Each structure stands twice: as structure tokens, then as C-alpha cells.
Chain A
């Protein structure tokens, strides 16, 4: 079975009198170990689909199978648990805690996890991940003391701390120059190839999308075509 399977996902927002249908029946399967790019112009329903994939939102109708579980009707607390356990997020604007060391930023999601680790184990795991992204010399640096690329690498380390099945990267290179973007993308690729991590890259930039093995185009709330 695929890691992710969407069956006829629909999402409708109720804006007062008007119903705005954003997703009009999206069906999609993503296998374990894939590196997929999700492309679409703004207003195409890309963000909504990403929110549903990331368990931040629930669909109005349809089935969402994640890791063998049907979760389209999960409550907000259950979705929070799923996010913590299965999904890692990387954002365009890094979203690191200010005036907090890189190490503490990486440890933060463990506070909400249900595997109870000791303080020492937490730090050990975070240190390992930070050296994986090449920041072993900067454990105690605060975000303001790091470059954009370094900040995004801290964010990647943070997304991996709970050993997720799926990494959801929302415009991960949107705030970076082209050189740093290449670095980040090759790091994501390496994670995909070496660790077998399933990654979904959400972007509107074809240059970013070409790093993916498969590109899913979305337009007007429907999957347009899939290119390999």
C-alpha cells in the first residue's frame, strides 16, 4: 500500500453566503521513498492540499489514507498527534524560535512527543541531526547569528527529530539565493536517497520542481497531470 493515498478529496470553504470549492475531487497516491514536487499557481488549491496532506486541516469529503490509516475525519487533537509522529515540516520562512539556540530549536518538537526521552537523549538526538545537516559547530548559535541557508538547515534538522514518515517542505527555498537553494535541495535529495525519506516539495518554481522525480501539477482544485 502507498504511504499516502487520497481518494476524491474535496474541500469547500464557507464564506458567509457563498461556498467556495477549492479542491474538487483530488485523487493521488505517493509511494514510500518518493521525492514529489507539488506545483501550482497561487489560488490553485496548492496550499489547501498541502494543509490536508500535512494533517493541519481536514477535507470536507473524501478519504485520506496515511501510513495505512484513514484520517480524513480525525479530530484536531488526533491530527496533532499524527503531525508529531509522522510528519516533518519545513517552511519558507524557517519559523525558528528567536533567541533560542539551534539545539533547543531542534529539540522543541520532542516536548510534545509521546516517546518520553530523557533530557540527555533529546540533546543527543538533536546533536546528531544537526551534524547530519552540517551544523555541528553551531549548536549554541541563535537564529539571528545564522545565515538563511543555515537557518533552513536547522529547520530541516528540527523536522527530522521525531523520525517522520513524510517531510513536507513548503517553498523551502523561497527566501534563499540560488546558490543556497541548490545546497538545500541537494540536501533534501540526499535525505531522500540515503535515508529513504518521503518528501513532498510544494513550490511554484519549475527550477525547484525539476529536482523531484515526479511533479504533480494542480490547477483550479484538480490534479492536471503528473510528469515523471
Chain B
């Protein structure tokens, strides 16, 4: 018996009792719909959470300079001045698992606009790559600084939403000049709001500027001032020089450049250290590979061989990412199991109805056997009916499930994502349910004795 004929026969048999067919299928429809909806909603929320994690910088790798240990005294992490901006460029160029790398120079100074002042929580000197790393490339207002600004030490900066609120009382700061350590810096862009990060720090209380600007103009640090003591050197000069107290005690042969003049014309830079390099790996899976690549590259660049310990520290946040994604995965799997149980219940319904159908159609089975159907023919026919029933349920279930997830997205604004895998799995599972639960009734039908089946009332 050809497959097409079997299919036609099955469809005809199912059509003979359309209401029962529909009600039997309903179990599978609901089961498959639940599976599809769960998968789509689960996948959507996982993706949304991962995106949030990514913007918080969780896929980032942080490289800090090592510590100085001299005469039994450790100066703590970041006290050594071995990290150079060129390191960031080299990491980007030579590590294949890295997509962006940005040098970071930190500072904490007062900024002044008009009669207001504020000390930003985070004041970072960096390159435009930093914005890519933190997914901050779109500005709320104005535009971002460029590599040229970094190169030219331009007095420009970007401010966060908290700064706009505190310093500019809500008006647009773009084009305005603020003072940092008596240096006028022009605000050219406003960052988009981000809110608090995972540990409660306000991410919008931030000023970003080219790292050269922060380094050479604002904090004015040089090679001789390790970053640990920059603030002390620049802001806390409690013991003024005699020339400042008594202006005329010494003669100067040459005119001394004013602070502004000095700041405006920084000395050519041959060497500068930075506080940190932030690196974005290609994906969460690439983080371990990226760490290995960076370690070997940095050791080579810093001429560390053999047993010499690293003069830098590398940290990543994969643990946080793992915890957060495993939570959503757990929830999705839990819901999926519940949905699968409903699918099994639907399968039992199918078995029940198929058994009723076999009993009801005993005479038909007897007749088919009398005209030459063998056991396997009957088995195939009833099995096909069960599978067709389940596949029909699967198809309607996919429709219903997708409609449900669409409804959830539109009405509740939950994120959802189409999952091709879920659709394939739903079809496969419903066919399997058909085979598993349809087999017993079909086997029972195929074992009937034609003489008794024909005489059955």
C-alpha cells in the first residue's frame, strides 16, 4: 500500500468524525502551543538580559598595572606605571579574540559651570573605543569625540545625564564650556542614560574625555607622578613654594608661563602610563582565549621572561554573566518541562481516542482483513492516523503558540524571539507522541482476528 494511499485513507477516516478529531487534537495543540510560547518568551528574555549584561560591560576584560613592592612595602594594585596606551593598540591589533580595546585614565576633580560645581563619580580619559565597549556609541545629544581629539589633546568632553541634571539644571550642555582644574573643556555630547549598574553605582554620573586631555591638561601628571599620587600632586599642595608666598623674593630672568599657558602647550609626550585598559572580547565564549592572548602579548611587550611575575593584572566578569544567564535558562527549562508534560497528557488523550476508534471500527478492520489487508497494513493505517492527528495538532499548536507570544509581546511588552529550533522540536515531538501513543492501539487493531472482527456487533 502506497504511502499516499495510506495518508488519504487516514485523512478520510479522520474526516469521518471531524468533531472528535478536533477535540482529540486540542490536547496536542495546547501542548505544542505552550512549548512554542515558552521557548519564544524564554529566548526573548534571555536575549534581553544578555543585552543588558553586555551594556554593563560584563563581557569586558580589565587590565590593570601590577603593584610596586619596594623595601617590604607594597603600594597596592595599580601602583606600578608599566601600562602604556600603546599596549591597548597592540592588544587590539594582535589578539584575534578581541574586538575593541580602550585605554583608561581615571581622575576625580571638581568641574564647574557658571555658579554650580560638581564632582563626578567617574571621570574617565579614554578613546572612542570605550564607547563601543560599553555600547554607548549613540549620543542623546551632540556627538562623540574622535581619535583626532585624542591625538590632538583637544579640550572636549562628553557628560552623563546626572551631570546634565546637577550642573546644567537640565538645559542642553552641548557647546557649553566647563572648567576642570581651571582648564576650560567644551561639552560636545551627552551620553544616553544607563541607570545604576549591577552593584548600584550611578553609571550616568560620568564625564568622558580624550585620555590625553585628562592626562596632560587636567591632572597634569607626567612620568614623575605615578597615578597613585596625581590627586595629591595637583590638588593638595598644602605647602606652597616660597616664591608663591613671597612673590618678589627671587628674580626670574625669563617670563614664567602661566598655568593656562602651560596647560595649553603640553610638552611632547614620549611616554605616558595609563590606569587601566578595558577590552571587549568577541563573545562570552572568547573571554578565556582573549585572556591567554593578552597575557602572552603583554609579557612580550613588557619584556618579562621566564619566572618573572606579571607586572599587570587581568580581570573579567564572566562569573556574573554565568550566574545571570543560568537563572533565565533555569526558568525557561522549568517552563519547558511543564509544557512538555501537557504535551504528554495530550498524547494520552490521543491514545485513548485511538483505542475507542479501534473498538468502534472493529468491523471495518475485519472487512479490510477479509479483502486482503495484513496485520502490518492495519498497523500502518492506524499509526498514520495517530501521527497525522498529532502533526495536525503540532501545526495548529505552532500557530497558536506564535500568536500567544505575539500577544504577550504586544500587550505585556515582554521581549520574545522567534525560535526555529522550537518549531522543529515541536513538530518532531508531536510526531513522536503520535508514534508512541498511537502504537498500542494500532498494534491492538493489527492483532484482531478477521473472523471475530467481522462478526463484532
Contact = CB atoms under 8 A, between A and B. Distances in A.
Contact of B369 (A80, A91, A98): A80
Given A112-B373, A112-B377, A56 B368 contact: no
A20 B111 CA distance: 113
A44 interface: no
A97 B373 CA distance: 15
Interface residues of A, number: 27
Contacts of A81: 372, 374
Interface stretch (B1-9, B48-56, B240-248): B1-9
A84 B372 contact: yes
Interface class of chain B by DSSP: helix
B84 interface: no
Given A111-B1, A111-B9, A84 B450 contact: no
Contact of B454 (A80, A91, A112): A91
A56 B371 contact: no
Nearest to B372: A84
Interface string B373-384: 111010000000
A64 interface: no
B12 interface: yes
Nearest to A101: B12
Contact of B372 (A51, A83, A98): A83
Nearest to B371: A109
B116 interface: no
B132 interface: no
A162 B371 CA distance: 9
A112 B372 contact: yes
Contacts of B194: none
Interface string A97-116: 11110001000110111001
Interface string B353-373: 000000000011011111111
Nearest to B376: A77
A162 B373 CA distance: 13
Nearest to B364: A97
Contacts of A77: 374-375
Contact of B451 (A51, A91, A108, A111): A51
Contacts of A113: 372
9 contacts: A80-B369, A80-B374, A81-B372, A91-B454, A95-B366, A99-B16, A104-B12, A108-B371, A111-B9
